[in-house]
Structure formats: structure tokens, C-alpha cells
Structure 1
Amino acid sequence: MYIVTSLRSVTPAFKMHRTSLLHVICFGITLNLWSWTRAELFTAISEVEPLLETHKRIIDDLDDYIQKEEKRLAILKKHLNIYRKEHDMAMEDIPNYLGNPINAFTLIKRLTTDLDFIEQSIKVGTEYVKNITVSHADVKYPTLEDLTGAAQALTRLQDTYHLDISELAEGRLNGVIYRGIKYPPLITTPMTAGDCYELGRTLYNEKDFQNSLRWMMEALRKYEDEKDVYNFTNVDILEYISFSYYLLGDVRKALEWTNKLLEVDPTHPRARGNVPHFQKSIAEQEEKLRKKRRGETGDDEDDEKPKKLSNLAKERKVYEALCRGEMDIPSEISKKLKCSYLTENHPFLKLAPIKMEQVYIAPDVFLFHQVMSDEEIEHIKTMAKPRFKRAVVHDPATGELVAAHYRISKSAWLRDEESSVVARVSRRVHHFTGLSMRSAEELQVVNYGIGGHYEPHFDFARKEENAFQKANGNRIATVLFYMSEVAQGGATVFTELGLSVFPVKNAAVFWMNLHPSGEGDLATRHAACPVLRGSKWVSNKWIHQGGQELLKPCNLEYQREDVMRKIPKPVPRTSR
């Protein structure tokens, strides 16, 4: 008979252990038991004596099993406490909590890689965990693509706003608040070593080795402080650091960190194999440098001179400085700017004039205040949310609408016929712009995501592009409504003008995209800066040429699209 049957012939104490054994086996725990095929244990005491060894093995295995389960439960309780603490903080003020991109990133991480780690490390009850967390159709779960996007958003914010990574890792945003508007205190939750490691690993997989290196350094610092249980070790972190240095071309640093790795794990196979490779690379670099000093390489001396920045790189620097609020428009422009009440364009404005602030001249850019009420904003947001889709751009080659990494937001389109509120907003645009809405596009509602932005672009279609219907002509003007305050970042910036317009809730910024000749005005190139803190809601009304013939006629001077008008240079704020 088999061993389980044989246990029936032993004492009740052994029956208890048999039950425990079966219970453990049901949970998939493999015990190292003696394996007898067929034996009659009760016929001789000598045959029973080996069961004492079996008994001891069961005790040892059960003890080991219980310790592992307690460890697993401790990990699970730790994750539960983190989830509960962060959730309670979020529910106190959801917009404020998710307005911190660090919190938004960690929330996505909790529901992707952290949840995977829980399922993999807590074997007992894994199916139950899956059933209660993943299979529900009425909840949403982020994907690994969301995690990658959130990681890239954080690096975009740190690059644009010159954020300190150690501050970010503690959940603090050390950016500047540019206006005197009071906001609730920032809700902060420090990132763990696991959070920093996952961020660094994601960026490494995206080939952003510089930022990956920074976050791995932070992960290593926190790992040493926390001494916690993760599905990675400090050896894994050190390996990422050393190879990131190598991929960035700093072989000496790569060797230095590989040696640190070998101090922790002297038998690490990849590290041991990398050392001679790194040493050889360093020797080759030194030999090349010696030859260069002796003039034996024939390398052009100009190689040592810093290369000039491309036009796109120059624009990038201007764009980021404007996002940080570090540039002012020149005094020759600012001294001519005026604020007034708009009473022209429509008889209704005689009864209800609109506050108009001129923020630039030639091209003229205006900010109209209090042109959308809070009630209208909430109505429009409610209509838009169920329709949200990833914002797209026109592919200049095909004219098709496609998603792009340089525009991170979701949008929806609302027609005037659907709502009296939307129709009323369109009429108001007609009132304060003086333009016909006959060929205007539907109202586009946009909510920017974590670090949401839209890099420098034109609203009008260039001559070589096939973006808009010729029947209605090009986009002659843009009206951009601000539907929320943004605590930090999120400005609309004009890179050619050196102008930064920070969101003012209930207001709308307006400018003409085309010259009177109908040609595109290159000076209107603009961008939406990354949102550092808060949730940015806007809506656009793009107005086309159709119907404007008598309202905005051509003048006697012809302006070409490829000719940039002379624009006074902006003034760096730091030079004052």
C-alpha cells in the first residue's frame, strides 16, 4: 500500500501530521519526504522507526513553510499599508493629489509592476488575488505602456523645469509658482527604492540612459536606507548603473561601478566578463589620445570645438526657458500694451463689455478675461469626458490624423447642435473676435496628462501640408479657453516672440494665424508647456478663412509665408 494509506495504521498523532501534510500539498508546497512505493509498516517496529525521520522532516519543512508564509504575508501587509495610506491621502483631495506627477506615476506603478510582484511572490492565494483584483469589468487598470509614458513624463518635467531628482524622489516638486494665486499644500508621498528602480529600468529600456542612470543612483541610495524586500537586489541596480555609464561612453565609470558590483557579488558572471572588455576599451582610448597629442591620428582639430546647436535645439532651449518663465518680452513691446473693455464687434458688448488684455503686438495676441463661466466649464467637461481619445496631429506627408509623442493629452469634440452651452460659447467667440463662425471647427476639449504637453507647432497648415479642406480655407485664427488653474507649468508659449501666457481660468487667449494675405504667419509658432502640478483643461475654437472675406479683407501689401517678420528679441529674466 502507498504511504498515505499506511499512515492510517499509526498513532493519532501521526494522523494529525498526515492531515497537515495533505493540507500543505494542496497549496503546492513540495516537501522532501521519504518515498516508499509499497510497504506494510505495521508488521515490524523496525519499519515504523524510519517514520520518526519522516516526522522530523515534516516538522522542519512545515517550520520553513510557515516562516516563508509569514514573510510573504509581511510583504503583502506592507503593500496593503502603502496602498491604503496613499489611497486615503488621495481621497482627501483627488485633483491636488493627482496634480503631483510623482503621485500619478506611483499610482500607475502600484497597479502594474507592483501588482505583478504581489502575484508572483505570494504564491498562496494568487488565484484569489487575481479574481478579486483583475477580473472585474467595472474598474480600469493601467498598462505597461502607461507606466512607460508616466516615466517619460517625469523625465520631461525634470529636464524642462530643472528639477532635482532627490527632491522628486521624496515627492516634492521644487519648481517655481509663477503667479500669486494660492493653491492647497502639495500632497507628497516619497518614492521607494522600488519606485526609483522601476522608473530607471523603464527609461533604460527606452534607451534614455542618462536619466536611467540618475534614477538608478537614487534607487541605490534608498535601497541602502530601506533594507527592504524587493524582487531585485543592489547587485541589479549596480549592473544597470555600470552598463548605463558604458552606453553613455564613460568606460572608466563603467569599470569603477562594475568593480563595486563585484565587491558585493564576486561571482557575478556578466560583471566578471565585462571587466577585461572595459579595461581593453580604456587602453584603446588612452592610446588614441596619446597618438592625437603626438599628431599621429590626422584628426581634424575642429572636432574639439563645440558643435553649433541646430535650429531645433535652439528652439528647444527657448521653449524650456519660456516654460520656466525665465524670459520677458522687450520693453519696446511691453510699454505699448494696453488693457481695456471690449465694446466693439457686436452690439451685445455694449451691454456686457469683455475685459481685454493685450499681451503682444504684431502679431497681436489678446487675453480675454471671464469669457467662460464655471458652470459652463463643468458642463463642457462632463460632456467631453466620456468621449475622450488620445489627442492626434496631422501627418504632413499623408494629411492623416495620428498620435504623436510630442502631444500628450486626450481630447473630445463637441458640436453646437448638441448643447445650448456649447452654442453659447461659440456665439461669444464670434462676439469678442468679430469673426464668422460659419467655417469654424467644433469645440475641441483637451485634458493634459502626466507632464502633458504639446511641443512647438503651427495651428495653420503649411503650404506643403494637406491638412485642411480647401473649401473652408486655412485656420485663420485660434481661440484657446483656459478651463482650470494650473499651479505650476502648463503655459502657452510663443517661441518666436519670447512670450509666455500662463493659464488663467475662465479666460481665453486669441491670435491670428495668417497674414492679411492669407499666408501663414511663422511668428505664431507656439507650444503647450508640460504641466508640472495640477490638471490642465483647455478648449480650442479654430476659425477658418471661409466667411471672413468681408470681415478680414486682404491689404495692399502681400506677405509671404516663408518670410519671418522682424521680431524684437526677448529679454532673459536672469540678466536683470
Structure 2
Amino acid sequence: MLSQSCIYLCLLLSGFFGILVSGEFYSSIEKMEILGEMEETLVEATRSYLVQQQQQLQLLSSFVDHIRREHASASEMHEQNEEYLEQPLQAFRLIKRLVLDWKDLNHLLAMNELKANYRNTLDEMAKEVEVLPNLEELQGAIKGLVRLQSVYNLTASDLADGNLNGKKTDSALNWRDCFEIGVQLYEMAEYKRALEWLVLADKLLDEVQGDDTLKMATEVYEYLALTYIELGEKDTAQETLTKLLTWNSARPTQNIQAHLDHRMPKCPIKKEDSEYFSDYVRLCQGKRLPEIKTNQSSPRCYLDSNRHAYFKLSPLKVEQVNLDPDINIYYGVLNDNQIKSILRLSDELDSFRSTHRKYVISDMRISQQVWLNYSSPIMRTYRQLVGAISGFNMTNVEIMQLANYGIGGHYEPHIDYMGSPLPPYYAKRGDRISTSMIYLSDVQQGGYTVFPTQNVFVKPVKGSMILWYNQLRSLNPDHRTLHAGCAVIEGIKRIGNIWIHSSYQEFRRPCTLNSEE
């Protein structure tokens, strides 16, 4: 049975969580940090409330124990033919208690100042935070974990043990965590993945000792049976139910049996995300594709001091990643202090969920972003650097898109050019002739930029910029520039994209007689 203080606490917290509306946190590690800070405040406020509540309860308990001793003493005196209340001091104390002490006690309980203070703390938090994650957020985070499983060939046991792509972490999941992941995957119709997590939850539950183990196992087996039904494994579902019915013949279990008797499986057939998906996954793991012929016969690293006057005293560090199409990395474009200046600018803006083509929000792209214009000194400097490195006219350059990737954050294989017909915004400016992507952070694991058709993967290196052309010299789209941002396993991935348009580039990158060059 819950204590009165626990009931108060539950009511207070439920009221607090009911006040707030949902935001989106899982798509940005920076926004996740807000939740971490908020939980720290909640923990401290709740700890303080419970300590004070405990002190109050100890005071009440001490008072009641004192009264019991008084009455016990009175009973002993009565047995010895002495009347307790015939003593004037005892009579005074009884009257004093009934007139003052019990009145003060009742006033303390009725007023419940601790509850009011705690409520005020939660209200102040609500004003500051304004948003809290909801079920959609939880499912988004779980999708991120499943994405890591798919891309990096991780099992549910790997993740539950904190084994992230060969790197052991201190994090670990218990049976309840695994069960909740399985339940949510079931609700999202991801039945194969749900089964994997539910089986793991059952395995971990075997290691748990306690009186409620059977009740907890019943929950797991009910969802296991439902999942087997959806996967079309009726015999296994029946075995699971038979075992479950020996423990619990309650109505929910009987309903599952009826469900099994009449249910036709509806397990969806999952399509491949794209024809390049398997290549994309392999490259994300840092493995080249031996079956794909690439144009990397003689890529090289060199120092370039002739490209622009900027680089006369400090040559540009160039790595040719691919020769046709050209994909180059330029190292040390921005230093740490310059990156900090850019990130400070982004912190002043409200980030929002990144979209994919025609402003569509989908699981194809999981990140948050802001747009930075060139009004500040650091952004003007960076724009000039991009112009000096690319050789392009910067008249028709888009403002920089700064993206931050969250749990399993990624961007599936896509192209940056718009293609024909161009949206109205691009009509006079032309299509995106090139992409300049600057890495604004290192990434502990994952987060590679890959080009599936070119057998190329690039590890993020803070301060380096990768540049490629989205159009041929004829301004026809270059389909070979299909690229992707791999899921982040650990760490924060921040990038800045600058797209230069084709107008005013006639003399900077002139066309040739070969329309495919």
C-alpha cells in the first residue's frame, strides 16, 4: 500500500506532467541535454521534499509514541490502584495536549506546507521548460536504437549490455527497459524486432528474484504471444499461451487465446529503404565494397598554396577522396575558436526538426537544424573561405544550414540537387551546383558521410570540410553524388552545409563539349 506522502508525490508529479505539451528531443542531443538538466532539478526537488516529509513523519511518530507511553503509564498506575489523572501535572499535560498539541498537529497536516512548496517548485519548472517528451518521443528514441541495430549489425543483447559496435560502455538495460522497448516496437508493428527484445526481457527476468516475478513474467509472455500471432507463428504462440495459462487464467490471457483462434497475421512486408541500402550500411561500418569499381586509382594528399591568396602563407591541406566525380576533404578550414563562435550563434536560435525535400518530416532524416546568415564576422569569414576553396562566385549562396544529430541521428541516401522543374525559389538562382559540408565536431562512433555508388566513406573530423559537385559541367544532375549521413552511435555530430547555386558560375566552371563531364 502506498504511503500518504507517496500518494501526494504521485499526484503532484502527474499534475506537473499533465501541464506540459510535447516537444521533440530525440532528434537532437543538444535538446536531450535540456531533459537531463530538468531531471536533475526534479531529483533535487523531490529529494528535498522527501527529506522534509520524512522529518515531519518522524516528528509525528515521536509525538504518537510519547502519547502511547503516557497511556501505558496510566494503565500501569490503574492496575496498582492509583489514578493517573488524579495527579495534577498529568491532568495538565492531557488538557494541554488536547487544547494545543493535537490542534497544532491537525493544523500541520491540513496545511501541508511541504506539498505547497513542492508544487511551487514544479510550477516554476513548467514555466521555464514548457515542454516534456511524450509517447511519440519514446518511440522516436526506440527507432533510433533499432536503426543502430540495422546499420551496425547489433543485437538486442549488444545494446542491452552497453556494447556499442565493439565499444563497451557503462550503460546497461534491465529487463523492464527491454520489455518497454519490445512493447513499443509491437505497437509500431515492428514485430520481428519486438520479438527480439521481448525474448531478451524474458531472459533477463529469469535473473530477477522477488515475489512479483510471476506477475512480471505474465506481462512479458502476454506480449510474446501477441507478437508470435502477428508473425504468423501460431504454434509457438499457442505454446506460450499454454504456459501462461498455467500461471494466470485471468481474462486478458483468455482474450489472447480467443485472439489466436481467430486472428490472421498481418505482419507487414518491409521494403528495402532504397536499392543502395545494403551498400550504405556496409560503408557506414567503414567497409569498402569489393564488387563496386571506383574512381580512386590515384587519389592523393597534398598542400595547395596556389588556389587563392588566402593560402599563400598557410597552404590548404587537401585529400582527394574520389577523382570522378571529384570529392575532396580540406582539413583545418576552421579552428576550435571559430567553431565555438559559430555554435554560439546557433545557440541563440530556436532549432527545429530537419526536413527532406519539399519540407517533409520523416524518419529518413533525424536531426535538428538552424539557418545562419552571414551578418556576423565569423560567418562572413567562413563564406569567403568556401568561395576561395571552391573557386565559385558566392553571389547565389544559400545561408548555412547547421544540423545537430540526436539518438541514432542520420540522413538516408539522398541527393542535394533539386532537379527539373526547379522550385520557384531556385528559378533565377539555378540548382545547387556544389555542397560544402563543414564538420563542427568530432564523433566518437558512427556518423560517417558515405557515397554508396562511389564506394566512399568519410569519417567526421572537426574543422574539416568536404566538397563535391552536384551537377556536371553541362549543369545536368550528377546522380553519382548520392550520399548519406550514417547513424550516430556515440557522441554529437554537428555539421554546417553551404550550397552554392549555378547562376554566375559560367566562367568559374565552364561547360565543355562533353555533356557528361
Q: What residue number does 2:146 align with?
A: 155
Q: What residue number does 2:287 align with?
A: 326
Equivalent position to 1:354, from 309, 313, 316? 316
Report the residue type matching 2:458 in the other structure: V
Q: What residue number does 1:6 align with?
A: none
Q: What residue number does 1:287 align with?
A: none
Report the residue type matching 1:191 in the other structure: L
Q: Is the 8 A contact 2:295 2:324 kept in 1?
A: no
Q: Tell me the TM-score normalised to structure 2 length.
A: 0.73
Q: What residue number does 1:245 align with?
A: 228
In 1: Cα distance, 2:274 partner to 2:38 partner: 32
In 2: Cα distance, 1:230 partner to 1:130 partner: 35
Report the residue type matching 1:204 in the other structure: Y
Report the residue type matching 2:3 in the other structure: E
Q: Give the direction of change, closer, same or farther, for the CA distance of 1:193–1:310 in structure 2 (3 Å limit).
A: closer
Query: 1:157-208, CA deviations, whole angstroms, 9 ceiling, x for partnerless residues?
Result: 11110112112112231x157xxxxxxxx65222222222222222222111
Q: Is the 8 A contact 1:176 1:488 kept in 2?
A: no
Cα-Cα RMSD: 3.7
Q: What residue number does 2:195 align with?
A: 213
Q: Is the 8 A contact 1:490 1:503 kept in 2?
A: yes
What is the correspondence of 1:108-147 to structure 2 with a 5 Å cutoff? 132-133=121-122, 136=125, 137-139=127-129, 141-147=132-138
1:268: how far off?
A: 2.7
What is the correspondence of 1:217-228 to structure 2 with a 5 Å cutoff? 217-227=199-209
In 2: Cα distance, 1:211 partner to 1:108 partner: 32
Equivalent position to 2:498, from 537, 541, 553? 541
Equivalent position to 2:466, from 495, 498, 509? 509
> Would you say 1:380 and 2:363 are equivalent positions?
no
Q: Give the direction of change, closer, same or farther, for the CA distance of 1:145–1:274 in structure 2 (3 Å limit).
A: closer
1:274: how far off?
A: 4.2
Q: What residue number does 1:531 align with?
A: 488
1:515: how far off?
A: 0.5
SS at match of 2:467: strand
Q: Is the 8 A contact 2:282 2:289 kept in 1?
A: no
1:423: how far off?
A: 0.7
Equivalent position to 1:261, from 241, 244, 253? 244
Equivalent position to 2:354, from 380, 383, 391? 391
Equivalent position to 1:198, from 174, 177, 180? 180
In 1: Cα distance, 2:271 partner to 2:175 partner: 38
In 2: Cα distance, 1:146 partner to 1:271 partner: 30
Report the residue type matching 1:243 in the other structure: L
Q: What residue number does 1:317 align with?
A: 278
SS at match of 1:506: coil
Q: What residue number does 1:402 align with?
A: 360
Which moved further from structure 2: 247-256 or 447-456?
Answer: 247-256
In 2: Cα distance, 1:506 partner to 1:231 partner: 55
Q: Is the 8 A contact 1:495 1:526 kept in 2?
A: yes
Q: What residue number does 1:414 align with?
A: 372
SS at match of 1:427: helix
Please list every run of 5 or more consecutive structure 1 residues that lacks an aligned counterpart in the other structure.
1-64, 77-97, 119-123, 178-185, 285-306, 396-400, 560-564, 566-576
In 2: Cα distance, 1:502 partner to 1:545 partner: 28
Which moved further from structure 2: 517-526 or 271-280?
Answer: 271-280
Q: Give the direction of change, closer, same or farther, for the CA distance of 1:218–1:328 in structure 2 (3 Å limit).
A: same
In 2: Cα distance, 1:157 partner to 1:444 partner: 25
Q: Give the direction of change, closer, same or farther, for the CA distance of 1:204–1:310 in structure 2 (3 Å limit).
A: closer
Which moved further from structure 2: 497-506 or 516-525?
Answer: 497-506
Identity between Structure 1 and Structure 2 (%) = 29
Q: What residue number does 1:271 align with?
A: 253
Q: Is the 8 A contact 2:453 2:480 kept in 1?
A: yes
Report the residue type matching 1:389 in the other structure: F
Q: Give the direction of change, closer, same or farther, for the CA distance of 1:320–1:425 in structure 2 (3 Å limit).
A: same
> Would you say 1:339 and 2:301 are equivalent positions?
yes
Q: What residue number does 1:370 align with?
A: 332
In 2: Cα distance, 1:146 partner to 1:238 partner: 26
In 2: Cα distance, 1:322 partner to 1:107 partner: 33
Q: Give the direction of change, closer, same or farther, for the CA distance of 1:348–1:275 in structure 2 (3 Å limit).
A: closer
Query: 1:21-40, CA deviations, whole angstroms, 9 ceiling, x for partnerless residues?
Result: xxxxxxxxxxxxxxxxxxxx
Q: Is the 8 A contact 1:513 1:524 kept in 2?
A: yes
SS at match of 2:386: helix
SS at match of 2:360: strand
> Would you say 1:454 and 2:417 are equivalent positions?
no
In 2: Cα distance, 1:550 partner to 1:257 partner: 72
Q: Give the direction of change, closer, same or farther, for the CA distance of 1:202–1:408 in structure 2 (3 Å limit).
A: same
SS at match of 2:199: helix
SS at match of 2:225: helix
Q: How many residues of Structure 1 are paired with residues of Structure 2 in the alignment?
A: 422
Report the residue type matching 1:271 in the other structure: T
Higher relative contact order (CA 8 A, sep 6+): 2
Q: Give the direction of change, closer, same or farther, for the CA distance of 1:311–1:533 in structure 2 (3 Å limit).
A: closer
What is the correspondence of 1:13-52 to structure 2 with a 5 Å cutoff? none
1:448: how far off?
A: 0.4
Q: Is the 8 A contact 1:345 1:433 kept in 2?
A: no
Q: Give the direction of change, closer, same or farther, for the CA distance of 1:244–1:130 in structure 2 (3 Å limit).
A: farther
Please list every run of 5 or more consecutive structure 2 residues that lacks an aligned counterpart in the other structure.
11-27, 48-111
> Would you say 1:426 and 2:383 are equivalent positions?
yes
In 2: Cα distance, 1:414 partner to 1:108 partner: 26
